[in-house]
Amino acid sequence: MQTAIATDYEAVIGLEVHAQLLTATKAFCRCSTQYGAAPNTNVCPVCLGHPGALPVLNRQVVEYTLRMGIATGCTIRPRSRFARKNYFYPDLPKGYQISQYDDPICYGGAVEIELDEGITKRIGITRIHMEEDAGKSIHDLDIDTLVDLNRCGVPLIEIVSEPDIRSPREAALYLQEIRQMVVYLGICDGNMEEGSLRCDANVSVRLRGSDRFGTKTEVKNLNSFRNVEKALAYEIERQIATIERGGTIIQETRMWDAATQQTRPMRTKEFAHDYRYFPEPDLVPVVVSDEWIERVRSHLPELPLARKRRLQHQYGIPAYDAGVLVADRAIAEYFERTCASLPSPTPDRYKLVSNWIMTDVLRVIGERKISIAEFSIAPERLAELVELQATQTINSRIAKELFAEMLSNPASPGKLVAERGVVQVSDTTFIEQLVERALSENPDTIDKWRNGKTNVLGFLVGQVMKYSHGKANPTLVRQQLLERLGTSDGVPG
Ligand code: ADP
Ligand code: ZN
Ligand code: MG
């Protein structure tokens, strides 16, 4: 038998993503979903599974699930049911989880991911169903296992993808897209560190060209995009190596261990029948009317990828910029509001706005750990700053200084410019004088220039800027210097 090499294989990946819904109360009782409350305070007979306590479905859970279902182009089942998934765990007091099984509320959709600029791929969505979360077990070595049941009954959606993903990078892009979507839709905070968004990855490998899937493993405990990529890369390599050694892949659940950067077996795969699924007898079917679906559809916000494309076209900014801006809906809005405030909107100004946001604005809100809503420079003021810059009233160095001052000074940039007397000087006679001074104070530069040392130009511009305390218009300075110096070996005059 001929041995294959690693590149002869391809990976097949399907993700199961759990997103915690941003409802104020739990899925089947009126307990608060507040994160970080004192242990076992957000509980009641329903979510603790006391005998005789009856669940009642929170309508908001359906509303939020519909948003994601419709946003991903799923078919919505007019009538779906809940099921009990039975298993034992200390953080599951009822002994079963209320989930959906045979007939999930949403099925058959797709999400588009962008692999490279302009190259997109559709990842099928098998289903999206509603379910409740379990509590948390805290394994404290000094005490014992502690159980906090606050999270019991918190609503989740599970988004199951088709096995359409072919690489760890595609998996990360898909997960990123899902995260952006749920955040845009306002149904989940998307926080992977706090567990509001969790991902299990199913992965198998097969020889390229094969039309059959290999045996898959399911990798759990992937709490960041990096971990998803790293765990999948590890697992793909492990599976290929196993097959190459003549071994077989066991269908099992594995755990990503970030400390050792490896996956390790957790348990052999459980099958659906292990869970003894049966219809939840305490809940009526979930009925969704066409009117409800239409109402949700008509209120959907513009989704991230669509918005990214629109920003590229409408403002003529590069794909990279658009991607950074739409990563956060509020940032995208800040960008658009700033552009809308420009007195004379032009593509070069849009690009300046984008530059300011991508560098200085994001840096400041990152450093201060604040949201854009708390950022002290409102879109209107940033637009004014950009306008001053675009009309060359101030140069970019002064603009940076102004920006820094505007952070703590609420005055308009126009007023600050007037106060500081930093209006850019474009007066030719004034600049001529400074150009002469720069040349006479540095007589050797002329020879250097003639001998092709073109970097003296930058030096001379710098000198003039210094003499003018940064106020001279650098474009004019450069122009005048070039005229004065004439042609060099390196640069035409
Ligand atoms: P299970 O019955 O083990 O839960 P499912 O058919 O429900 O498996 O699929 C669970 C996830 O695994 C889905 O995201 C699906 O796309 C993915 N998946 C199914 N088969 C494979 C495979 N052979 N390789 C990789 N992923 C797979
Ligand atoms: Zn409760
Ligand atoms: Mg399954």
With a 6 Å cutoff on the Cβ, whether 213 touches ligand 1 is yes
In this predicted structure, the answer to whether residue 40 has a pLDDT above a threshold of 60 is yes
pLDDT at position 493:
42
Is 80 exceeded by the pLDDT of residue 492? no
Going from the Cα of 89 to the center of ligand 2, the distance in angstroms, rounded, reads 18
Q: Is 216 or 446 the better-scoring residue by pLDDT?
A: 216
Structure confidence at residue 421 (pLDDT): 74
From CA 440, how far away is CA 425, in angstroms rounded? 21
Whole-number Å distance between alpha carbons of 252 and 264: 10
> How many Å lie between the centroid of ligand 2 and the Cα of residue 131?
15
Write down the pLDDT at residue 315: 98
Does 161 contact ligand 1 (Cβ within 6 A)?
A: yes
- Domains of the chain listed by start with CATH number: 6-296 (no CATH), 304-420 (no CATH), 428-484 (1.10.10.410)
End-to-end CA distance of the chain: 71
More confident residue, 100 or 269: 100
In short, whether 204's Cβ falls inside 6 Å of ligand 1 is: yes
The whole-angstrom separation of Cα 360 and Cα 350 is 15
The answer to whether residue 133 scores a pLDDT higher than 80 is: yes
pLDDT digits (tens, 9 = 90+) for 54-72: 999 999 999 999 999 999 9
- Give pLDDT tens digits for 153-162: 999 999 999 9
Indicate whether residue 162 lines ligand 1 (CB < 6 A): yes
User: 185 — phi, psi (to 5°)?
Assistant: -75, -10
Q: Which ligand is nearest to the CA of 100?
A: 3
pLDDT digits (tens, 9 = 90+) for 157-199: 999 999 999 999 999 999 999 999 999 999 999 999 889 999 9
Counting from 1 in the atom list of ligand 1, the atom nearest the Cα of 16 is 14
Q: Mind listing the pLDDT tens digit for each residue in 402-420?
A: 999 999 999 999 888 888 7
For residue 474, what pLDDT is reported? 82
Phi, psi (degrees; rounded to nearest 5) at 261:
60, 40
Angle at 65 between CA 64 and CA 66, to 5 degrees: 90
pLDDT score for 453: 87
Predicted confidence (pLDDT) per residue in 316-338, tens digit: 999 999 999 999 999 999 999 99
- Mean pLDDT for 241-268 is 92
Q: Which tokens in the block code for residue 32?
A: 């608060």
Give the Å distance between the CA of 136 and the centre of ligand 2. Answer: 15
State residue 272's pLDDT score: 72
* Location of structure tokens 């511009």: 461
Threshold 0.85, pTM exceeds:
no
Please give the number of the atom of ligand 1 that sits closest to the Cα of 161: 14
Provide the mean pLDDT of the chain.
92
Q: What is the pLDDT of residue 1?
A: 44
Q: What percent of the chain is predicted at pLDDT more than 70?
A: 97
